[in-house]
Structure formats: C-alpha cells, structure tokens
Amino acid sequence: MSESGSSGRVQPAQAGDPSRIGPYRIVGRLGAGGMGTVHAGVASDGTRVAVKVIQPSQAQEPEFRARFRREVDMSSRVTGPYLVPLLTADANATQPWLATEYVAGPTLHEHVLAQGRVTGPSLYAFAAATAQALAAVHTAGVVHRDVKPQNVILTPSGPRVLDFGIAHGDDDTRVTRPGATTGTPGWIGPEQYRTGAAGSESDVFAWGALVAYAATGKSPFGTGAPDVVAFRVMSGEPDLDGVPAPLREIVLRALAKEPGDRPSAADAAEECFELLAAQLIQAMRADTLFTRAEDMITAVWDMPHVDDPAWPRPARRGRRPWAGVLVVAAAVIGGLAGGVVALMPGKPESGRHPTSNASSVPASSAPGASTPASSAAVSSPAGIPQPSGTGTGASTSVKLEQATSGRPASVESWADARSARGEGEHDVARAVLRDQGVLVRELGDAIDLVPNTVRFHASRGEVYLSYRLTSDEAGTLYAETEVAGLMCRTLRESVLRLHPELPYRAFVMVREATGHDPLVTWDDDFLTDARCTSADDDVSPAGAGPGWEPDEQGLGQAMIPSTDRDEIGVAGRATRRIIERTNGMRTALGTDRALGNAELKVGFDPSRSAMYVWSDYGTWNEQQAADWAGMAAGEACRALVRQRDSAGDAWPYSRYAVAKRGGSGYLMIRWGTAATLADCPA
C-alpha cells in the first residue's frame, strides 16, 4: 500500500472513518490502495503521520495476519536518515494498522512526470542515499520487496524510501503463497519471476532500475503488459542510454540477471558516495570539508519547493490529572534479587522504578479494539528498594519526578514523543533495537517479547521504548526487568559515550496490548543509575601508549589528504588490510554490512609523528568497538614498523592511534608506539 499522500493535500474523512487510531487523531484521508486506507493522523504535539488501516477482507485471512505481524516486528528494527520509519502498529486489532512518519514531497514518479528526470549532482546524491537506505534495511535482516518510484519521496533534504508494507525477513518463506510474486512488474528481479523468492539482491536489482528511471525518466525495461515486461527483465538487456557513464557501470552490475553477480546495497552505496565526492570536488571550494555522508547529500540536493499546505489540527484535549502510581509489595520471585531498578541516590521519594500509569490513551479508539480491561499494578522484584512509606502488603501513591518538566512520564508524553531525527538519534534507535533483538533471542520461546518502536521526547529528555509482551505475571516482571536493565546499559553507551550532545537522560518503557490501554511500566534515569554502568565505565582505554596521547587536533591533521608518496602508500596498504579484516569480523561485530573506504580511513599527523585510523561507522557497541580497535591498532603498528624497516630513519612516523566516531566528534580507543613487530597488538 504505497499511497502516502505525499502532496500533503488531505481529503475529507468519509462516513465510518475512525476519529482516532491508537495515539493519533484522524483528520482526513491521504489515499487508498489495494491493502486498505491511508488516513491523515495528528499526534497531540501536532506531528503528522500516515496511518494505514488494512481492509477487513485482508485482515480476516490468518495467513495475511501472520505475515503482517511478522513484517511489523521486523520493520520496527529499521531506522536510518533516508527511510520513512515505522512509528507504531497494532497487528492484533480487528483491522490491523500501522503508522509511519508523514513526509512532505513528491514521489520520484510524480517528480519525473511533472519536472522531468533527476540530473547533475542531485542524481548521484539520489543513488547514494537510496542505496544507503536499502543497506540499513538489509542490515536489520529485512527485505523491502517493493522498491519503485512511487515508494521514494523527494523531500527538501534528500530522498526517503518508504512503504515496508510488504517487507519480509531474509529467511521468510513461511507465509508466502506458493507461486505468488510480491512486487511491481518492471521493478522486481528475474529470480522473483522464476521462483517467487526474493532476497536483498532483489532489492538491489530494483534499486538499479530505480536509479536508471531517475536518470532517464523511463523504466530500463520499458512498459507494456506485465508478461511482456517480465520477458524483458528475464532475458533482455536494460536500456541505460542517458545514465551518466560513472553511474552506468554500477547500475549495470545491479541489474545483473544472477543475484550473486550484483553488489550489496552497502557496496553500491559506498561506490555512489565516492562518485558523489568526485562531483563535490568539481562543484565546491577546495577548502570545503565534509565529515559525514549526509552532509554531502545536503550540499548538492536540489529539488523544487514543496507545496505542503497545513493539515487540519484537532483541538488539544485537556490533560487528565495524574492519578498516582500504585506500588505493590515486593514479590519473591527466583532470580530477581538483582535487577537495575532502584531509587535515585539522595531522593528517597522521587526514584525511578516500575510504574503503573493511570493516564492512558483509550484502546477502544483503535480500529477493532475491544473495551480495555483495568490495568493491574506491577509488582516489584524482591531485593529492589521500595519508595518510602511502602511496606509489604501495602500500596500507596508515589510521586515521580521527571528530569526536566517536573511531571512524571505518561502515555500522553509517549504520544507526544516522535521518531528519530538526525544521525545521533538514529544511532541510538538502532542500538536499542539491536540490543533488544538479542535479548528476545536469549529469552527464547518462554516469553513472547516484541520490541516495537523507539521514540524521543527532547524537551523532557526521555527515550521511549514501546513493546508487546505475552506471559504470566512472573514472566512479565522478569522480562521487563531484563528489558529495563538492557535499555539502561544501551543508552549509557549510545548517548553518554557516542552522542553526549543529545539532551536525553531518562528512558521510559510503554507496554502495548490489544484490548488494554497502553501502560507506562518503567521510568529510569540512566545517567544517575549506577546499577546499569558497564564494566568498562571506570577503566582507562586499553592500549593507551605511554608518553603521548592522541587528540582530535591530531586527527584533524590526519584528515587532510597527503601528497607524500610514502604516506599514501603506507595508508593505502594499511587501509586495505584493515578493511579486509574488518569485513572478516562482521559476525563478531554484529553486522552483515561490508565496510569500505567510506567508513574506514587512515591519515597522518606530521607534528606528532602519528598515524591515525578512524571509523565513521557508528553502530558498534562498546565491546565490538574495542575488538575492532585492537585489530586496527595491530595493523597500523605493523604497517609503521615495516615501512621504517624499509625506509630507515627517513620514515618519521612511529605512533599510531585508532578512533571511532562518537557524538559530535571522535573517541580515541587505542593508541601506542610502533617499536617492533613483536610489540604490535595481535
């Protein structure tokens, strides 16, 4: 269902349309498609969303519902700057629905019809950004399956890939009808026509056709009856006349008949960013420096002004008074004596802890929702400190403090929160969903835990995780304690260490359940909660070399391209070796993405006689970054020693440092002095 109402013009609601779906007020329609209706929704803070409600005839099919539920679960893992993220969904409603961020702008299809093809540096930016978007999708283990011009929005800041309405996991064959082909003729690979199966390689094929369409204004396999187009896709050569020569070679490989002959989306993105960098060298001043791929896209992206009229905005409801938080006496449950929940030190009456929130959005307003049942209070594990005035067998009202506003987190503040914006928030969202996904696998079949979406409330300094959970009371408490502990550790790593410029200090967990109101179950300050610190928080960087210490000034010098032949040769050999070993460590590093020159770089600081290695890949956790840095330090050290053995005293470099991007700058992870090969890290 790709209709997204990208023009921004809201059609009036029709008889029978709901007034609210989940946390969103419905103000009209954006369109309709074969799967259902797309409603224009507005959150309480005015954020606009597209809410897609599945047709009853589709929803009645158990096979479809199973597929929809699985796709929602997997799509919630996907985040990136050139994607339209899934915000929330209810796969169990009578009419399942999902909500995505509303993005203003024409689709590529609409742009080509109205303005013509995409040209100049904007074309290279389009190719790089859309390939990067698909790489993010594939890294999450998802296949898009419907990459086409109608599913790419050209926003003022760059292209955005949308509609994961038929996305599948890489291993998903269980809910696909025999012989069924998912996708749009002309935008699916030959293997899909032959077998109906589609993987990430099929998305790359569609991406190649997409770039050709953007460059020429026409499909590379022409138009006509579906069987005619299918024949051309399977046996004909693509028409790439009009695609610029530098891009044509990449597009041609993407359109290879055999899936194994195509590049990965990550490799295609890397090559396109290199071409984009060449375009920037021609178009920008010589002293212009871009440290992020997104900056290159922004610098050259040139799209006509978007006519984006305001939507009708519903009147704000008055906030309901906070009804308090019921705390029940600690329940003795085996294995729960630890946990991360505790009162904040020095504030015995304002700690963060599991909560039962009486303020909620009525579930009955969502399509097909039943009358909500009353929400039970959440029991605290044995061994977890209780708020003052709470004793065994007693319950009392406890006042929570919010870090910035003085008001406790609630379902309404969750509804006010938004999806990730900017590189830092996207990194945080990816880290949370990645780590929670690992926890889901560890919990196994005993507990049905589904991390749903990550949202941000900047003014309150809160990161929200919504989730679904099916278990008995003991299992629920255990799972939520595990989720909270992991959330705390993940946010300390991704915010404190990697993105300290972000304004967040607290996390809030919201449990969603069909037939029940959403419920705030946990509210904790990850900055002050000492129980969720990692073992490395008080440890100095491993491999810190005596006598010198790298810094960002030296790294800045290393980022200046060298003209010295020996430096270029050593850097090139070290880079190739580090890239080769990094990609050999992908399983240990928790990624399927193949990294290259766009993410891993080597340079020299002559003033400190130091060689720097740095990574712009920001999604490793602390242990993964340390493992990678140890490997990179060893390769850097050996490269310096071998060059000195070859060139003698003429080679001035004896120090090395390894850094990775974190927050607004770089974090120095490992450094040392290259004396002999025996001294180099393994």
Residues that are catalytic = 146
Chain-centroid distance, C-alpha 409? 24
The answer to whether 17 and 367 have CB atoms below 8 angstroms apart is no
3-class DSSP state for residue 357?
strand
Query: Which tokens is 246 given?
Result: 């530098």
Q: What DSSP string runs through 279-318?
A: HHHHHS-TT----SHHHHHHHH---PPP--PPPP-PPPPP
Q: What is the dihedral of CA 597, 600, 603, 609, to 10 degrees?
A: -160
C-alpha Rg value of the chain to the nearest Å: 26
> Cα dist. 224→212, 214, 216, 445, 480 in Å?
18, 19, 18, 48, 54
The helix (H) or strand (E) run that includes residue 198 is none
3-class DSSP state of 363 = helix
The token pair that represents 154 in the structure block: 């050209």
Question: Tokens 């560890």 correspond to what residue?
Answer: 442
Residues 6+ apart with CB under 8 A from 470: 447, 448
Alpha carbon separation from 291 to 122, 288, 642, 665, 666 (Å, rounded): 19, 10, 30, 10, 11
Neighbours of 442 (CB within 10 A): 11
Quick one: DSSP state of residue 606? G
Which two three-digit tokens encode residue 606?
Answer: 């002559």
DSSP state of 460: G
Phi, psi of 444 (to 5 degrees): 70, -155
How many Cβ atoms are within 10 Å of 399's Cβ, its own excluded? 11
Closest listed residue to residue 558, CA positions, set 598, 617, 607: 607
Pairing mode, strands 506-512 and 519-525: antiparallel
Q: Residue 207's closest CA among 301, 121, 131, 267?
A: 131
Evaluate whether 323 touches 494 at the Cβ level (below 8 Å): no
Please tell me what DSSP assigns to residue 608. Answer: G
